[in-house]
Structure 1
Amino acid sequence: MSWTLIALLLLPLVGSVVVAVLRRSDAAAKTAALAFALGELVLAGVTWVAYDPASTDRLQLTSSVEWIPNFGVHLSFGVDGIALVMIALIALLVPVVIGGSWADKLPEGRTAGGFFSLLLVMQTGMVGVFAATDVFLFYVFFEAVLVPMYFLIGRFGGPRRQYAAMKFFLYSLLGGLIMLASVIGLYVTSAETLGKGTFDWATLVEAMRTADTTTQIWLFLGFFIAFAIKAPLVPLHTWLPDAGAEAPVGAGVLLVGVLDKIGTFGFLRYCLPLFPAASKELAPLVLVLAVIGILYGSLLAVGQTDMKRFVAYTSIAHFGFIALGIFAFTTQASTGAVLYMVNHGISTGMLFLVVGMVMSRGGSRLIQDYGGMAKLTPVLGGLFFVAGLSSLALPGTNSFISEFLVLIGSFPTRPVHTVLATLGMVLAALYVLWLYQRVFQGPLRGTALVGVAGGPGAATAPEVGAAREVKDLGKREIAVLAPLVALILVLGVYPKPVLDVITPSVGATLSEVGVTDPVTAQEGK
């Protein structure tokens, strides 16, 4: 029995308690939160080293303890390469978020200790989702992560935080309840097949191979709807723009960088292996939704006036690429989709952070309130540009490798969907460069950056006054963004260490579905 994953679960949970106890002192609470987050990062590194990509074991670092014996429920944990890279992403982003939120102004009556304590609770829940190998335990963590994010949005968010938090909670809760019906259906089906019900993932994968297609489709839909809401896929996406816009920046990074990936991870871990016949039967529908999401999200991003909603809509487009890669059923496309999950967390996480840094200086999240900001904050402008180039998948950045693998892997099996998806790449260049040009280039303008001479009752019309005092990035903010910039560049030219971990698990997943890569004409010769 390996205790590595249990330690990854318990460390941030203990940290959340300690930080909550220290909440009367903001400095002590922040320091403790960062210390626990860095400790989790080190532990994730140890877990990465302990994982063997060459092993034939489907899941590694496993541990299991009985929880509810009468129903065969266990506290079971284990990881494959897909889960491992997501846990590593969580361990990276949480200390970055803590550092980026260090000087945030919180709503009146809220403390830094309360905020950072919720972040650490959130980390425990997310690690549990990716590490659980008991389906019922997965469901518990799937629902549990809603609670800290609900309070992060509802207590620390923007002006419409209560509305956004409730909408996020209700959408996710509804999806979870639908999934619960399928979880119960899995238990009943396994009892009919094996003579005894089980929630063990590996056992269920074997048991469901003999289930008829109709049963698989109904059970698949229960999981799929929950994951499509979480991902989010169009038309189940409408909670994300509101939640992303109203969430505090740190919580927003985890929302779009990690929490949404629970949905796409669920497709790979649960929908495909447990319901292979249903996955192949319904793949055309999912692919249509994926392409619609790419184009719809891109077009809506172009028309946004709110920078945080802009980031949310770009994420909807990116999740369309991930879903396309997963349901194209080729090793290249699925590997690209998993790598996209990691790289999207890095690039969009950084984009959300730099948007937050712009807002902290200008006091507004409206694009029209800015212009020519690079003249005042050249370092911030440069790093914003790097995040934008990664988001549009410029060659040499991390996202390009992901997008390229998805498209080249999807084309042999889904050429029409792939061609339509490439339009999203063109639109991505349009919306990213448009945002950068509006906020950072041209003459200095906008009420967030330029004062106004005159005013109500003045003899003449108001005229643009002098530039406001706006400081460029400080050492702390540069230190927060530096690891993300490094990963954008390193993974853009050398993604092999991550791909080596992902590829065997992707191959095992496709094998469980019963699909093989198409043979090219050259290979046929």
Structure 2
Amino acid sequence: MTSSSGSVLLVLLLLVPVAGALVVAFLRDNARLAKQTALLFSLGEFVLAMLAWFAYEPGAEARLQLHFSVDWIPAFGVHLSFGVDGIALVMIAIIALLVPLLIGASWVDKLPEGRSAGGFLALILVEQALTIGVFAATDVFVFYVLFELMLVPMYFLIGSYGGARRQYAAVKFFLYSFLGGLIMLASAIGCYVMAAEELGQGTFDWPTLVQVVSDAPLTNQIWLFLGFFLAFAVKAPLVPLHTWLPDAAAESPIVVTVLLVGILDKVGTFGFLRYLLPMFPDASKTLTPLVLVLAVAGVLYGALLATGQRDMKRFIAYVSIAHFGFIALGIFAFSSQSQVGSVSYMVNHSIATGMLILVIGMVIARGGSTQIADYGGMFAVTPLLGGMLLLAGLTTLSLPGTNSFISEFLVLIGSYPREPVYTILATIGMIMAALYVLWFYQRVMHGPVRGNALLGAMSGPGAVADPETATGRRALPDLDGREKAVLIPLVVLIIGIGFYPKPVLDVITPSVEKTMESVQLSDPVEGN
């Protein structure tokens, strides 16, 4: 086993959420203590992530840092091997940030009959640990195992704590991702066999496979590429493998929807960068038109479907499908600018969409309905909540000055020189984003106070006479202290990264440049 202070940090990042889950699971009969304990462990994990951030050296020659490795199955060359590059680090940091906010957001949520807060929070902490492991794994077999294992807590989070159709949504989510993972396993075994033929001994070590498989004949690369790509395209999700997401997002509890859309889906686009491009560079370039067609189709399809949604949570799902198409476009446009834009888009999407989902959850908590038509004129009743929804909407449509703008800008200027047609088509999706986000906001927040859910929440005991309508109404609570504490860190990041993205871009850029080197393509602007 290799050891250093950095590797110890990474070990702790993997183990602290697991330890927290074990402790919280034994507190099923004490909901308050379970919540406090889960929050304490998640805040400790955030501190560790910040220490790892400052321990990481973006300009170092080695791509993987904070590395450690332990023999697991020596007979098959499998090691419990973990390390991070700049791409993995930013995703781990955003997971560490979001989980304590999600625990705070779920503090007063009512769980289904027979379900405990301890069980719910233990599953969230296990999901956090497994997802960090997926981003940090440097052994392809370990990556596969964690890729499949992270489906299990999410299955129970959806199927045990979700809405009326939760079992259907959970099974659909599990089957799509599990079957995609099995196909990826077949490709991973193919890489292992290829390494055995080349080196005399099989291995799943990612750096070694990059050297061996990247020199394989194009036909072999294409078949192996497709196995990995299918698993990542399901997770991303790219059209037409996206159909599990709207159901899963609609039936999940709000904080689970944030986990699903804001974190888990990034494993797919992360896989494009970590595995597809370095391991199968020739296949990646050959199959680029296929990926770009799917990416742009996702941008336009997601935008169209988002416009017609009646359910708030399904609206979020289709907005995210459009965004993931944009991320895939930037990755397969093969320029440093577009790929840096895509990675920063992964980070900023987690922040922006995470805030949008949480604010929508606060709206739903007050009205009790997910239907857009059940609300209207809410800004007059809850102006602070309305302001937060406006900010979340503006960063979702990438308004200049918000964090998402720099990501979208880099993807566009980086993609256009090499893929002008696809970039122009994707820009149409950007225009549509402004329409569907503002239309959604207008329907929920503007106009006279209306809608069955909103009016129902304002009637009943404590109502007072409204002189304009002569009907009984009671005040609807605006954001309370807990809700403000959950949203303020996201507001700070939205504005802070919007005006000063350099700390994030400095960590991402060297790893993206190494990815470009592995594909052996120069930036089109260089004229090479």
Question: 1:444 and 1:466, CA in 2 relative to 1: closer, same or farther beyond 3 A?
Answer: farther
Pick aligned residue for 1:265 from 270, 276, 279: 270
* 1:479 aligned partner: 485
- Aligned AA (2:483): E
Does 2:119 align with 1:114? yes
Give CA-to-partner distance per residue, 1:260-288, whole Å, 9 cap, x none.
00000000000100000000000111001
Alpha-carbon distance, 1:466 to partner = 3.7
* Secondary structure in 1 matching 2:155: helix
Alpha-carbon distance, 1:447 to partner = 0.6
Does 2:232 align with 1:227? yes
Alpha-carbon distance, 1:464 to partner = 9.4
Does 2:153 align with 1:156? no
- Aligned AA (1:345): S
**Structure-to-structure mapping, 1:295-334, within 5 angstroms:** 295-334=300-339
* 2:21 aligned partner: 16
* 1:349 aligned partner: 354
* 2:211 aligned partner: 206
Does 2:527 align with 1:517? no
Does 2:79 align with 1:74? yes
Q: 1:282 & 1:376 partners in 2: Cα distance?
A: 52
Pick aligned residue for 1:383 from 375, 381, 388: 388
**Structure-to-structure mapping, 1:331-480, within 5 angstroms:** 331-451=336-456, 465-480=471-486
Q: 1:284 & 1:468 partners in 2: Cα distance?
A: 57
Alpha-carbon distance, 1:469 to partner = 4.0
Q: 1:300 & 1:468 partners in 2: Cα distance?
A: 36
Contact 1:450 1:468 in 2 (8 A): no
**Structure-to-structure mapping, 1:75-224, within 5 angstroms:** 75-224=80-229
Contact 2:417 2:525 in 1 (8 A): no
- Aligned AA (2:373): Q
Contact 2:158 2:252 in 1 (8 A): yes
Alpha-carbon distance, 1:468 to partner = 5.0
Does 2:63 align with 1:58? yes
Contact 1:449 1:468 in 2 (8 A): no
Alpha-carbon distance, 1:520 to partner = 5.2
- Aligned AA (2:479): L
- Aligned AA (1:519): V
Alpha-carbon distance, 1:209 to partner = 2.5
For structure 1, which runs of at least 5 residues remain unmatched after alignment?
454-462
Q: 2:182 & 2:417 partners in 1: Cα distance?
A: 37
Q: 2:212 & 2:470 partners in 1: Cα distance?
A: 71
Does 2:512 align with 1:506? yes
Q: TM-score, normalised by structure 2?
A: 0.96
Q: 1:442 & 1:477 partners in 2: Cα distance?
A: 25
Q: 2:525 & 2:42 partners in 1: Cα distance?
A: 46
* Secondary structure in 1 matching 2:524: coil
Contact 1:450 1:466 in 2 (8 A): no
- Aligned AA (1:508): K
* 1:240 aligned partner: 245
Alpha-carbon distance, 1:425 to partner = 1.0
Q: 2:295 & 2:308 partners in 1: Cα distance?
A: 20
* Secondary structure in 2 matching 1:88: helix
* Secondary structure in 2 matching 1:364: coil
- Aligned AA (2:500): Y
Does 2:499 align with 1:493? yes
Contact 1:449 1:467 in 2 (8 A): no
* 1:458 aligned partner: none
Pick aligned residue for 2:41 from 24, 36, 39: 36
* 2:8 aligned partner: 3
- Aligned AA (1:298): A
Question: 1:464 and 1:436, CA in 2 relative to 1: closer, same or farther beyond 3 A?
Answer: farther
Give CA-to-partner distance per residue, 1:347-369, whole Å, 9 cap, x none.
00000101110000000000000
Q: 2:474 & 2:497 partners in 1: Cα distance?
A: 38
* Secondary structure in 2 matching 1:64: strand
Q: 1:470 & 1:112 partners in 2: Cα distance?
A: 26
Q: 1:360 & 1:276 partners in 2: Cα distance?
A: 48
Q: 1:516 & 1:466 partners in 2: Cα distance?
A: 68
* Secondary structure in 1 matching 2:525: coil
Contact 1:273 1:513 in 2 (8 A): yes
Alpha-carbon distance, 1:194 to partner = 1.3
- Aligned AA (1:337): S
Question: 1:464 and 1:168, CA in 2 relative to 1: closer, same or farther beyond 3 A?
Answer: farther
* 1:457 aligned partner: none
Question: 1:438 and 1:212, CA in 2 relative to 1: closer, same or farther beyond 3 A?
Answer: same
For structure 2, which runs of at least 5 residues remain unmatched after alignment?
460-468
Q: Which runs of 4+ in 1 moved over 3 A?
A: 463-469
Alpha-carbon distance, 1:495 to partner = 0.4
